[in-house]
Structure 1
Amino acid sequence: RAGGAAPAVDRPPVAPARPRRRGRRFGVAATVVVALLLAWPIGLVLWADGRLEHVPALSEAADTPGTTYLLAGSDARGDGAVPEDGTIGARTDTIMLLHAPESGPAALISLPRDTYAEIPGHGANKLNAAFSWGGAPLLTATVEQLTGLTVDHYVEIGFGGITGVVDAVGGVELCLDRDVNEPLSGLVWTAGCHVADGPTALAFARMRYDDPEGDVGRAKRQQQLIAALSSALADPAVLRNPGRQVSLVRAGTDALAVSEGTGVVDLGRLALAFRRATGPEGITGTPPIADPDHRPGGVGSTVLLDPDATPGFWAGIRDGSLPPGPVGGLPG
């Protein structure tokens, strides 16, 4: 109709755009997935924290720079035997100090168990006698007096638990360049590198009497074992496998006792410091040794640290001023 209004046309209502609804659904699904991904590790950490056994271990010594971890491998003598130094009961064959300085290389230092040291309240004796006489607190105090470093975290590893942790990661590769058949530790080894299961790894770390370097050689193998475990724990195959993670947490927390206030997050930092120390930019070894067969009388054969070199050595570890690489070992 010329000049007239156009007739009204009925149009159906416009339906809401489906892509927007799909977008909302996708957003909700993504939120749920993210929540689940976050819930698993958080839940795993909380579960692990709740399983940790805490023991009194730390002193009230003034803090020293950096973070210092004291690692002790504990054993119990159930056979009633009394060793020549007169101590009985719980023993520790593995004593390591891991130090992460404020700057400079991290250091993993093995203290031979027979190190001749002044034990507060008991006089001079083998270092591991401190653990037998006073448990973790006396061992911590003795190590602090020996090194001048204040221990921030104490971690005690039950020897029996080592087997479970190694088996939980599917075994670790260890290397030794000679044949060994030592009944005391139970180690039977063919020269070369082999993937060791839990019992074999434990014997590898314990073996002493068939090692020409004695305690020093054992310290090197213990460091090798822990380095191999650290690498295995960082394996993506372990990190992506929830079942293996659960087995590992169960085995690890069954094997550990830690100082009060030390949690799973602290153990994570310890693992990172350990990897730094055992890597190419870290420091590993022992303190300077003057005599591996020092016999002061009454305590049998002991390891005498170099009284002239050790003060500067510990100061360098504390300050991070020592260059990376191996340190200590038997006197040349």
Structure 2
Amino acid sequence: MPATTPRPARHRGFVSRWVLRLAAALAAMVLLTSGVGHAMVDSVAGAVRRVDPFQGLRDRPDAGRGLNILLIGTDSREGLTEEQRRRYHVGDVGCHCADAVMLLHLSESRDRMTVVSLPRDTYAKLPAHDLVLSEGHHEGHADKLNAALSHGGPPLMVRTVESLTGLRVDHYLEVDFGSFVRAVDEVGGVEVCSAEPLKDEHSGLDIPAGRTMLDGVGALSYVRARHLDGGSDVHRMERQQEFLAAFLDRAINDRVLFNPARLGGTVDALVDSVAADPGFGAEEMLELASLMREFDPANVEFGSVPLADDAREVEGLGSTVIWDRPESDRLFGALRLDEPVPALTDAGPAGAAPAPSRSQADC
């Protein structure tokens, strides 16, 4: 079992509720997708921008059982106007880095799902690569995980994640700022709840304690805020997971996914700035929808990589996140074998009791 202290009982209940809501929302979405038929799915798949994250990859991990999907949220400013950049508090120039990294494993039998957040500040060894934002070549070097995207694009991100986890990535999905904001506005905003006021001048976040309905801009500030909880990347990941669940829950409860007129706007917003590998097309979407029809929400696990240190200073890189290698190997080894994983932890340093995020009020 992981060395980290078990999470407090209230926090366990909080996460369990969100996991069940997320699973229920995902189930409803795939049921809807399978119900609208091939024509709509073809249209959606055709609107998705395509990238090839597997181009030139060699010496990859062997394919395991089940399906692994790498989900990336980027800080790209491409397509944003100057006014939008100001409102979104994203500045003029992004690092073209990965702002959120999640690995979704769907079991071969399609009756179990595991979503593991990978800290963007993870200390990683980037393999040798050609630069994508400028001309040149880098030999392998140490850096943070999120830098893989800006250095070598999706292929380097896939190579780095595969090297860290020992898992073969089967599909790749990427989404940027603009689509996120529009999708939240399309569903009429999303409610979050915080035990304390949350303020981060860098992201523009400023909400009181209790329940707050966030529009798209406010939601972006909420999931991007890095100057809360002592700048913890772990708590930031928790907020991202909570918000994803709340967004899907809102879409279900407000009947957005069952209203063709409103669904069209939401889908357009979501796919407008989404990129996926060429192999993730209409047939794959329909296949997943069909396979997940009878999916049991109780079989969803949502967590993060076990950590040895969540704030280790490294010269030239600043504060980095160090994985608990034996426990993370155990976690990803189980996923590779398509077995139930060891208990997912709060990802705090070994031996330390993880403090609940301030956003985790028992609402």
Please report the TM-score for the alignment, with normalisation by the length of structure 1.
0.77
Tell me if 1:258 matches 2:276. yes
> 2:68 and 2:241 mapped to 1: Cα distance?
17
**Is the 1:287–1:327 Cα contact (8 Å) retained in structure 2?**
yes
**Letter aligned with residue 339 of structure 2:** G
* Shift in CA distance, 39/210, structure 1 to aligned 2, threshold 3 Å: closer
> 2:165 and 2:289 mapped to 1: Cα distance?
19
> 2:120 and 2:267 mapped to 1: Cα distance?
28
**How far off its partner does 1:113 sit?**
0.7
**Structure-2 residue corresponding to 1:167:** 185
**Is the 2:183–2:269 Cα contact (8 Å) retained in structure 1?**
yes
**Letter aligned with residue 67 of structure 1:** L
**Structure-1 residue corresponding to 2:114:** 107
Q: Say what the alpha-carbon RMSD is for the aligned residues.
A: 2.8
Tell me if 1:47 matches 2:71. no
**Letter aligned with residue 218 of structure 2:** T
Alignment of 1:140-289 (within 5 A): 140-212=158-230, 214-235=232-253, 237-264=255-282, 266=284, 269=288, 279-289=297-307
* Shift in CA distance, 326/170, structure 1 to aligned 2, threshold 3 Å: farther
**How far off its partner does 1:298 sit?**
2.1
**Structure-2 residue corresponding to 1:65:** 65
**How far off its partner does 1:90 sit?**
1.1
* Shift in CA distance, 265/167, structure 1 to aligned 2, threshold 3 Å: farther
**Letter aligned with residue 91 of structure 1:** C
* Shift in CA distance, 233/43, structure 1 to aligned 2, threshold 3 Å: farther
- Provide, for residues 146-169 of structure 1, a one-character-per-residue CA deviation record: whole Å limited to 9, x for no partner: 011111110001122101111112
> 1:240 and 1:110 mapped to 2: Cα distance?
30
Helix, strand or coil at the partner of 1:70? strand
**Is the 1:173–1:195 Cα contact (8 Å) retained in structure 2?**
yes
Unpaired segments ≥5 residues, structure 2 = 1-33, 83-93, 129-139, 353-363
**Letter aligned with residue 158 of structure 1:** D
* Shift in CA distance, 142/40, structure 1 to aligned 2, threshold 3 Å: closer
Larger relative contact order (Cα-Cα within 8 Å, sequence gap ≥ 6): 2
Alignment of 1:293-308 (within 5 A): 293-308=311-326
Helix, strand or coil at the partner of 1:295? strand
**How far off its partner does 1:320 sit?**
2.9
Tell me if 1:94 matches 2:100. yes
**Letter aligned with residue 162 of structure 2:** E
* Shift in CA distance, 136/270, structure 1 to aligned 2, threshold 3 Å: farther
**Structure-2 residue corresponding to 1:75:** 75
**Is the 1:164–1:198 Cα contact (8 Å) retained in structure 2?**
yes
**How far off its partner does 1:271 sit?**
12
* Shift in CA distance, 285/272, structure 1 to aligned 2, threshold 3 Å: farther
**Is the 1:57–1:260 Cα contact (8 Å) retained in structure 2?**
no
> 2:262 and 2:274 mapped to 1: Cα distance?
18
**How far off its partner does 1:234 sit?**
3.7
**Is the 2:49–2:273 Cα contact (8 Å) retained in structure 1?**
no
**How far off its partner does 1:226 sit?**
1.4
Which protein shows a greater Rg?
1
**Letter aligned with residue 247 of structure 1:** G
**Is the 2:69–2:169 Cα contact (8 Å) retained in structure 1?**
yes
* Shift in CA distance, 68/238, structure 1 to aligned 2, threshold 3 Å: same
**Is the 1:100–1:106 Cα contact (8 Å) retained in structure 2?**
yes
**Letter aligned with residue 139 of structure 1:** M
**How far off its partner does 1:99 sit?**
0.8
- Provide, for residues 69-112 of structure 1, a one-character-per-residue CA deviation record: whole Å limited to 9, x for no partner: 10111113799xxxxxxxx8411110111111225641111111
> 1:270 and 1:176 mapped to 2: Cα distance?
34
**How far off its partner does 1:176 sit?**
2.2
* Shift in CA distance, 272/233, structure 1 to aligned 2, threshold 3 Å: farther
- Provide, for residues 181-235 of structure 1, a one-character-per-residue CA deviation record: whole Å limited to 9, x for no partner: 2110111111123332111111110011122361000100111111122333444
Out of 311, 315, 319, which is 2:333 matched to?
Answer: 315
**Structure-1 residue corresponding to 2:23:** none
* Shift in CA distance, 300/245, structure 1 to aligned 2, threshold 3 Å: same
- The alignment of Structure 1 onto Structure 2 pairs a total of residues equal to 284
**How far off its partner does 1:44 sit?**
2.2
**Letter aligned with residue 340 of structure 2:** S
Unpaired segments ≥5 residues, structure 1 = 1-37, 80-87
**Is the 1:77–1:91 Cα contact (8 Å) retained in structure 2?**
no
Alignment of 1:11-50 (within 5 A): 41-50=37-46
